[in-house]
Structure 1
Amino acid sequence: MNSEHEKNRQEPGVQPEETIEKSIRELEMEAMDEKKQQELLEKFDNESRVRTFTNRGMALFVKAFAIAVSLYHLYTAYFGTLVTLKHRSLHVAMILALAFVLYPAFKKSSRNRLAWYDAICSVLALSVTAYIFSDYLGIVHRAGVPNQLDLFFGVVLIFLVLESARRVTGWALPLMGVIFILYALFGRNMPGFFGHRGYSWTQIANHLFVSTDGVYGTAVGVASTYIFLFILFGAFMNKSGMGQFFNDIALAFAGHTKGGPAKVAVIASGFLGSINGAAVANVVTTGAFTIPLMKRTGYSADFSGAVEASASVGGQLLPPIMGAAAFIMAEVLGVQYRVIVMAAILPALLYYLGIMVQVQMRASKNGLEGLPKDQLPTIGEVMKERGHLLLPLIFLVYMLFFSGRTIIYSAFLTIVVTILVSMLRPATRMNFKDFLDALDAGARSSVPVALACAAVGPIVGVASITGFGLSMAYTIVSLGGTSLLFTLMFTMLTCIILGMGLPSIPAYLITATMAAPALVQLGIEPIVAHLFVFYFAMFANITPPVALASFAAAGISGGNAMRTGFESMKLSMAGFIVPYMFVYNKALLLQGTSLAEGIMVTITAIIGVVMLGSAAEGYFFARMPIPLRIVLFAAALMLISANMLQDVVGLAVIAVVLMLQWSKAKKEKHQEPISA
């Protein structure tokens, strides 16, 4: 065996148990080094470049304001929100005020004191909402015929949203917003079907200011209700020690198996990613522990980083929370939340199965061992100490699927249950300070998501009034011609390009506006089309040349950033194939299918994903030659469609390949003593 673990075993006087135990202790200490994590986050994630005030009074004021923001959203969750425009404008105003206080304008700006122009921007943000509250009926009655004050505050709002988005999410999203506004102004001069009748600045500003298709659109509506509450729920879960629980339970379940540390990374990052929806932050926090441990077990630096990146990105595909994207999708499609979750669950599990298969095959191929079982926590110990933290998640699933209550009320009650459940054990118990810290953290964590939802407003708003979305769909369909496969491929490329450098929610919203209609035009059901574009918008985070999650993972592992990106794509191969599978066979989404059909499509999909992973790694029972890998890959792809003949042929080819591999492994096993 060539693993580092095996090398350690061969060194005289060094016991593997001692080495691994020491490694785990050291890595836990490294994972607690918040300074290193923050530095890495700031390098790859604009959302983490926040001010830390040295003035105690200012720090307390900002914390008090953040707590007030969280308390407002809790209040509206229980007692009901204000009228739509008032509630959404107040939500945006509070988020904008926090953004300008927390995020400096430039990298060289002071990180410990507030600049005068940031204070002015915060006040302006609040003044926009003050104006809406003071003249609400007038604004509503003047819809379409704005006065000068309407235009002034509309321009102020658009500027503040785009500027704050630049600070928090980077240049990509605000630049797209500016380009779309310019397109609305000057698109009448464009040739072909991308041209439109043209709009004046007055029409555009008014549309983006008071319309529910503009800044205060659907995305902000969801952010101000569901998303904020679930981010707050995640803050309370984090404060009670849920992150530590996920790490410990993953170690207990999988740490001792072949390639155990990589499986730990997949399990822990998947659970955490589903709750927090922040791929890069998830890579850094979880990866600070799992990536070095994978390397010490024998995985390469590039592969270790890729495992963490692909698992963290996949969390946004994993129900029940899906990083809050499920709520946006449900609102856009006008369906119940549970419909999205039920459709997404099997593809997400197949995605993680694909990663697990490659991790297992890589470990078997290279002879990598797991961690000594006696040095790992047991499932019983972990469940006894922190297992009660699963109760809020179980309660949440019950409330969302079986109680008949609204999502907002369910989220509110789940936060209350989380606080109460944390009191059951001393290790997880929250005191009053922890409670306030969670409220503060929840508001701060919501700023990037809420701003992204507001900043996507100009893009979606312009696309709606100019018909750009339909023009884009026409272009994609034209490029694909009469071939569904080509149209899907062009849509995939469009989604990956549009999603580069963008947070997950605006990436989904933009691709849903511009790419999903192309698939709907071809007769694909809307939920299938939206899940398809959502998958590939998420994978922009691990697809070079702009693969922020992979680059952050490479920063921890010390590997090459581009190679880590391509390894992440390889590990996520199932994720690139599964969307095609559910387009060709919607039974994979458990939509309108019988139990027997659902079971059959699940079995063939599992076999196909396992074989894809084996072909990618070139191992099953024994190392696999390239020609056989190509044959196995092709056979696995035959299981994509709902064609029974293709399934039978594919399964037959797979059976022959596995028999050949089993025979080869048997021969190699008999030859080992001779070669020795």
Structure 2
Amino acid sequence: MTKETLAALALVYVGFHFLNLFMTFGPMGSKVIHISMGIGVLTLDLLRRHSGRSMKIVAAFAWVSVLAASAYFLSDQIGVLTRYGFASPPDMLAGAVLVFWMFFLTGLYFGVPFAVIGIVFFVYAYLGSYLPAPLTAPALDLLRVTSKLTVGALGDVVELSVTIIFLLLVFGTFLQASGAGAFIWRVAGNLARRIGGGTGALTVVSSGLVASFSGVGAANVGITGPIAIPLMKRDGYTSEQAAAIEAIASTGGQITPPILGMVAFLMADFIGVPYARVVLAAIIPAALFYMGLLLFVVLIYRRNGGQGQIQGEAHAGPAHGWIKVSISFLFPIAVIVALIIAGMSVQLAVFWSIVAIAVLALIFRLERDPKVWLHAVLEAAINGAALGMASGVLDVVMASLDITQLGMIVGFIVSQIGGASVLANFLLVLVAAYVMGMGMPGVAVYTVLAVTLAPVLISLGAEPLMAHFLIMYMTILSNFTPPVAPTLMLTARIAGANYMRAGLEAMKAGAGSILLPFFLFSYPALLLHDASLGAVLEAVIVTSVSIFLLTVSLLGWLGRPISMFERVLLALPPIIAWSAGFAGIRSTYWAAVAVCLAAFIWSVFAGYRTRQKPIAARAMEMERI
């Protein structure tokens, strides 16, 4: 009975979000319904998996308390908003009920650390005035603090969740359920054969394509990981290499157009730019991200003795006509892009793309089993409800940051440590962003860093778009770099790999992506922001060549093992070029760039000549080494 009730509620929950696009439920009604119905979905999901007596008591208590709190908010929406900041006791009690369940369910679905971070900010709003300098927060009336932390939990991040994020989840699950995912494996296989790198290249391309519309690293691993990782292991990659490649490829989707992760929507809302502008800014960084990963994959595959061909059969999905599958995948994405460019709101563009998926599914009959579609609805409802809870926690964090002015405090601390040095402050911001992002969802980290550290980058001369894009980018790196890397943990489990050794491989494979923030800060033209064609070409060429040389130097392989002396010679020019460019020493910069280009041409030529050697000769050379 629980399964049937959950399925019915999931259908109603998804239907409400469609209806919300065309009807109004009051100034805060849609957010209240989104959270309260989401709590119902998640408690039923928990009850389905754990049907013990204690879980039944918890679920019953949740339903009764949330129903009462929601009914109160819905009955007096204008009054609650009018009293915000000076809320009445019933306002705060109803808000506290929703906040409690949001924290509780966030801890269960996103991990205890996420909820603990929210609790820390919650407590800091009350006790910050008692802490020593420089962490001292302004002393405020306790009732005012409570008002903002409870009613404020239904804030802008929850608004974003109910209007955009939920619909994006529906889009992703429906696109996968329609059978259009077969397109990904076909395209990935064809590209991988041209690039070389075997099933490693197949994984990078397929995971990148899937991640570009899922926007969530862990979710993407669940789609492609169980297929791609065993294929890589059979193809000569070690378990650790397979886990690292899948984790990085899945993570990159959060900055890959046309559909970025939730952080991108937060960023657009935070700095007040159209979402299409964020998509435009992400094009070149995403291409450089995957270029660096593909380079590693090709080199490591050939070092292991592979010839660039895909070994084993890639999963290509159901055997449908290629034209039907292609249209079913490309057309809905084209609808989103075209409608956003035409000026339609993101949520309506996503809605019409979902309609396009449904229409094409009826026409082409790619997936006929109703259970598949029902599972897609259920998956979207559960994931959307969980993100709704996390959004409420983030709104509490935002309220705490507003109350305590913590952003100004952290910015002051960083500037005091870094002094007047632009480079020192920049490095401090990167380190702080990385450390704070360990084990945390990107949306949580970005919400905090956008207030605390982005202003520091802006004070160093970065445009707001650049500062926030760097912060957004840094939030994804900890997904695959140790010591705490959630996406890598998942891929390591699938691959049966040692987690720490997989982390070391991820550091090598992701060398290009780890270096990219330095080039983004030095070359704003990479974000296509007020830049000439010449500036864009210079930025792309210098960054690409630098990533190539540094990756080859780190890996120590260029058709043959290269000596430490050669590795140093390859690594020095890009380091000198970046340092001189950062310092504004143009003569040294251009000289180093020239050396970089010469080293790149030599590397390609040397690698090509080595590739022409007979396979047996190369095998004997490897044995001697």
Q: TM-score, normalised by structure 2?
A: 0.91
Runs of 5+ consecutive residues of structure 1 not aligned to the other structure: 1-56
| Aligned counterpart, 2:358 | 419
Supply the distance in 2 between the matched residues of 1:637 and 1:337 (Cα, whole angstroms): 34
SS of equivalent residue, structure 1 residue 83: coil
SS of equivalent residue, structure 2 residue 423: helix
Quick one: which amino acid aligns to residue 189 of structure 2?
A: L
Supply the distance in 2 between the matched residues of 1:186 and 1:638 (Cα, whole angstroms): 48
| Aligned counterpart, 1:575 | 513
Quick one: which amino acid aligns to residue 392 of structure 1?
A: P
| Aligned counterpart, 1:238 | 176
| Aligned counterpart, 1:190 | 131
Give the drift of 1:665: 7.7
Matches within 5 A, 1:498-509: 498-509=436-447
Contact 1:269 1:286 in 2 (8 A): yes
Contact 2:192 2:202 in 1 (8 A): yes
Q: TM-score, normalised by structure 1?
A: 0.84
Give the drift of 1:148: 2.0
Assess, with a 3 A threshold, how the Cα gap between structure 1 residues 129 and 617 changes in structure 2: closer, same or farther: same
Q: 1:142 aligns with which of 68, 73, 83?
A: 83
Q: Does 1:617 align with 2:561?
A: no
Q: Does 1:481 align with 2:419?
A: yes
Matches within 5 A, 1:574-613: 574-613=512-551
Matches within 5 A, 1:399-548: 399-401=339-341, 403-426=342-365, 428-430=366-368, 434-548=372-486
Range 665-674 or range 580-589, more displaced: 665-674
Q: 1:179 aligns with which of 95, 120, 133?
A: 120
| Aligned counterpart, 1:70 | 14
Supply the distance in 1 between the matched residues of 2:85 and 2:606 (Cα, whole angstroms): 75
Give the drift of 1:198: 2.1
Range 647-656 or range 574-583, more displaced: 647-656
| Aligned counterpart, 2:592 | 649
Supply the distance in 1 between the matched residues of 2:574 and 2:94 (Cα, whole angstroms): 57
Question: Could you list the per-position Cα deviations for residues 131-181 of structure 1 after superposition, in whole angstroms to 9, with x for gaps in the alignment?
Answer: 111122322333333222112112222212111111111111221122112
Range 164-173 or range 493-502, more displaced: 493-502
Contact 2:204 2:294 in 1 (8 A): yes
| Aligned counterpart, 1:247 | 185
Quick one: which amino acid aligns to residue 273 of structure 2?
A: V
Give the drift of 1:222: 0.8
Matches within 5 A, 1:152-231: 152-210=93-151, 214-231=152-169
Q: 1:271 aligns with which of 190, 209, 214?
A: 209
Assess, with a 3 A threshold, how the Cα gap between structure 1 residues 433 and 75 changes in structure 2: closer, same or farther: farther
Q: Does 1:552 align with 2:483?
A: no
| Aligned counterpart, 1:59 | 3
| Aligned counterpart, 1:83 | 26
Matches within 5 A, 1:288-437: 288-371=226-309, 383-384=322-323, 386-389=325-328, 390-401=330-341, 403-426=342-365, 428-430=366-368, 434-437=372-375
Question: Could you list the per-position Cα deviations for residues 48-82 of structure 1 after superposition, in whole angstroms to 9, with x for gaps in the alignment?
Answer: xxxxxxxxx221111111111110111122x1443
Give the drift of 1:362: 1.2
Quick one: which amino acid aligns to residue 421 of structure 1?
A: L
SS of equivalent residue, structure 1 residue 193: coil
Supply the distance in 2 between the matched residues of 1:406 and 1:320 (Cα, whole angstroms): 15
Assess, with a 3 A threshold, how the Cα gap between structure 1 residues 377 and 221 changes in structure 2: closer, same or farther: closer
Supply the distance in 2 between the matched residues of 1:123 and 1:60 (Cα, whole angstroms): 20
Give the drift of 1:378: 9.9
Assess, with a 3 A threshold, how the Cα gap between structure 1 residues 221 and 634 changes in structure 2: closer, same or farther: farther
Quick one: which amino acid aligns to residue 46 of structure 2?
A: Y
RMSD: 2.8
Contact 1:218 1:331 in 2 (8 A): no
Supply the distance in 1 between the matched residues of 2:45 and 2:228 (Cα, whole angstroms): 30
Question: Could you list the per-position Cα deviations for residues 155-210 of structure 1 after superposition, in whole angstroms to 9, with x for gaps in the alignment?
Answer: 22221211111111111122112211221112112222321232344222211233
Q: 1:100 aligns with which of 26, 37, 43?
A: 43
Contact 1:73 1:225 in 2 (8 A): yes
Contact 1:385 1:425 in 2 (8 A): yes
Question: Could you list the per-position Cα deviations for residues 102-130 of structure 1 after superposition, in whole angstroms to 9, with x for gaps in the alignment?
Answer: 2369x9x5479951222211332232221
Supply the distance in 1 between the matched residues of 2:515 and 2:89 (Cα, whole angstroms): 53
Give the drift of 1:228: 0.8
Q: What percentage of aligned pairs have identical amino acids?
A: 27
Quick one: which amino acid aligns to residue 286 of structure 2?
A: A
SS of equivalent residue, structure 2 residue 153: coil
Quick one: which amino acid aligns to residue 356 of structure 1?
A: L
Assess, with a 3 A threshold, how the Cα gap between structure 1 residues 480 and 366 changes in structure 2: closer, same or farther: same
Supply the distance in 2 between the matched residues of 1:70 and 1:667 (Cα, whole angstroms): 57
Supply the distance in 1 between the matched residues of 2:571 and 2:367 (Cα, whole angstroms): 50
Runs of 5+ consecutive residues of structure 2 not aligned to the other structure: none
